[in-house]
């Protein structure tokens, strides 16, 4: 009955394949070279790849883009199915769809990053997170995956914008989390003086750090906008713009956590190592806000 589920499934497998290819790309044989010195301009990372790495990298990108196209198609098909069954078309109206949308946004962000900065090594981390998001979605029981009609409180045009903006900010934080993890890996290699070819494709520490910061700088205003849109919606649906509902409160907590990060970056000593750990911690809080709150705490947002 649900054609979209087939497409979501295909997306899942393609993201798995892409993740495998990116990991293989990192392990591929490269001609002997030194690590790039710190602060060295990026852009010549691809020149360091050997024949195997180049080919693997190209296929990985291709598979990722194809997976993303299927993800897009799946979401669009779901939008049509929703139109038929539930009078709205927002393909992010339950937990499953929200997860699929988040992985869509993560992969889109990654593809843009790859095309702009030409760093494929990030794929092993960020596509990994996109894949996990998609995988977690497909692990949900079938009854969570279907396009059931919306409860009256959700049946509003606000769902189009509030949910999509908030989820996009989650995707940005996921990206920052992935980059933070990558930073720690690379940092360990640098500290040990590792000459392993595995790390050769990694950009230098400063670049990873800066990219992670940029992802948070994108997610932070988006989350604020998402929360405010939620407040406006609540003002129409619940009789007040703020009611300290657990989901509301947790999104505010996440925002405060990243607020502290943004301010910390202005002071010395909060780049690099600390920032990377903090970005991972922040992402864990995002996961709790997104998943944990729905399953562990009761409240007005407990719909799915």
Partner 1 sequence: MNDKPDAASDMSASGPSTSGLGWEEFSREVVDFFASIKLAMFLFIVLAMTATIGTVIQQGERPETYVQEYGEEAYRWFLRLGFTDVYHTWWFTSLLGLLCVNSLTCFHKRFPSVWRSMRQDKVSVSLAFIQGMKQQATLSINQPKETVAESLVRIFAEKGYKVLAKSDPGEVTVYATKGIMGRVGAHVAHLSATVIVLGGLLGSYYGFSEFGVCLEGQTYHIPRGNFDLHVDKFWIDYHENGSVKSYNSTLTVIDQGTPTMTKTITVNDPLVYKGIWFYQSSYGDAWDQIEAARINVKDKTSDKVVATVDLEWNKEKAVEGLPLKMKMTDFVADFAFNSTEKKVFSKTAEHANPAIRLAVDERSTVQSTPWVFYHYPDLFEIKDSAYQFEFIGYQPKKFTGLQIARNPGIMMVWIGCTMLVVGMTLSSLIYHRRLWAKILPGEAGVTLHLGGTTHKSQIDFQKEFRKLTEKIQTKTSS
Find the part of the chain contacting partner 1 (CB under 8 A) among 14-22, 50-58, 143-151, 177-185: 143-151
Residues in the chain: 304
The 8-class DSSP code of residue 241 comes to S
Binder of partner 1 out of 1, 34, 116, 267 (CB under 8 A)? 267
43: contact with partner 1 by CB under 8 A? no
Binder of partner 1 out of 24, 190, 252, 304 (CB under 8 A)? 252
- Which residues ranging from 163 to 222 are in contact with partner 1 (CB under 8 A)? 206-207, 209-210, 217-218, 220-221
Sign of the CA dihedral running 133, 138, 140, 145:
positive
Residues 6+ apart with CB under 8 A from 204: 36, 37, 38, 39, 40, 42
155: contact with partner 1 by CB under 8 A? yes
156: contact with partner 1 by CB under 8 A? yes
| Cα(144)–Cα(141) distance, integer angstroms | 6
Question: By the 8 A CB rule, do 85 and 97 touch?
Answer: no
33: contact with partner 1 by CB under 8 A? no
Nearer to partner 1, 139 or 302 (CB): 302
What is the contact mask toward partner 1 in residues 283 to 302, using x (rule: CB under 8 A)? ----------x---x-x---
C-alpha angle 110-75-70 in degrees, rounded to nearest 5: 60
146: contact with partner 1 by CB under 8 A? no
Find the part of the chain contacting partner 1 (CB under 8 A) among 64-72, 133-141, 192-200, 240-248: 240-248
Number of residues interacting with partner 1: please give it, by CB under 8 A. Answer: 52
Report in angstroms how near the CB of residue 250 gets to partner 1 at its nearest. 6
Helix axes 273-287, 205-237, angle to 10 degrees: 30
C-alpha angle 242-229-147 in degrees, rounded to nearest 5: 105
Nearer to partner 1, 13 or 242 (CB): 242
Report in angstroms how near the CB of residue 152 gets to partner 1 at its nearest. 4
| Cα(192)–Cα(80) distance, integer angstroms | 53
89: contact with partner 1 by CB under 8 A? no
Nearer to partner 1, 86 or 138 (CB): 86
Question: By the 8 A CB rule, do 99 and 147 touch?
Answer: no
Residues 6+ apart with CB under 8 A from 295: none
Nearer to partner 1, 39 or 193 (CB): 39
Binder of partner 1 out of 89, 199, 225, 291 (CB under 8 A)? 225
Binder of partner 1 out of 10, 108, 140, 253 (CB under 8 A)? 253
| Cα(83)–Cα(93) distance, integer angstroms | 12
Burial of 11 by CB count in 10 Å (0-12 exposed, 13-18 middle, 19+ buried)? Answer: buried
| Cα(293)–Cα(136) distance, integer angstroms | 16
Q: What residues line the site for partner 1 (CB under 8 A)? A: 39, 41, 86-87, 148-149, 151-153, 155-156, 158, 206-207, 209-210, 217-218, 220-221, 224-225, 228, 231-233, 235-242, 244, 246, 249-250, 252-253, 256-257, 259-260, 263-267, 293, 297, 299
């Amino acid at each position: 009955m649900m054609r979209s589920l087939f497409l979501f499934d295909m997306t899942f497998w393609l993201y798995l394949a892409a993740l495998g290819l990116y990991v293989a790309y990192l392990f591929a044989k490269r001609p002997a070279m030194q690590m790039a010195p710190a602060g060295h301009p990026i852009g010549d990372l691809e020149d360091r790849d050997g024949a195997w790495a180049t080919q693997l990298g190209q296929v990985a990108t291709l598979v990722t883009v194809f997976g993303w196209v299927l993800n897009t198609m799946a979401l669009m098909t779901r939008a049509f199915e929703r139109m038929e069954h539930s009078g709205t078309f927002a393909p992010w109206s339950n937990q499953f769809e929200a997860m699929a949308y988040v992985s869509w946004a993560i992969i889109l962000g990654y593809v843009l990053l790859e095309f702009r900065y030409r760093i494929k090594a990030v794929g092993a981390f960020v596509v990994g997170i996109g894949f996990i998001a998609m995988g977690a979605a497909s692990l949900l029981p079938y009854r969570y995956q279907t396009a059931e009609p919306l409860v009256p409180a959700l049946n509003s045009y606000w769902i189009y914008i509030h949910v999509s903006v908030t989820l996009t900010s989650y995707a940005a934080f996921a990206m920052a989390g992935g980059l933070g993890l990558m930073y720690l890996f690379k940092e360990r290699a640098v500290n040990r003086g590792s000459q392993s070819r595995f790390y050769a494709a990694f950009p230098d520490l400063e670049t990873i750090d800066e990219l992670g910061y940029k992802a948070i700088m994108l997610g932070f205003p988006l989350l604020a906008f998402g929360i405010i849109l939620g407040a406006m919606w609540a003002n129409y649906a619940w009789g007040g713009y703020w009611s300290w509902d657990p989901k509301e409160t947790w999104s505010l907590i996440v925002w405060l956590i990243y607020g502290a990060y943004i301010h910390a970056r202005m002071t010395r000593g909060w780049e690099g190592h600390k920032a990377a750990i903090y970005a991972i911690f922040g992402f864990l809080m995002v996961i709790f806000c997104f998943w944990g709150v729905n399953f562990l705490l009761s409240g007005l947002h407990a719909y799915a």
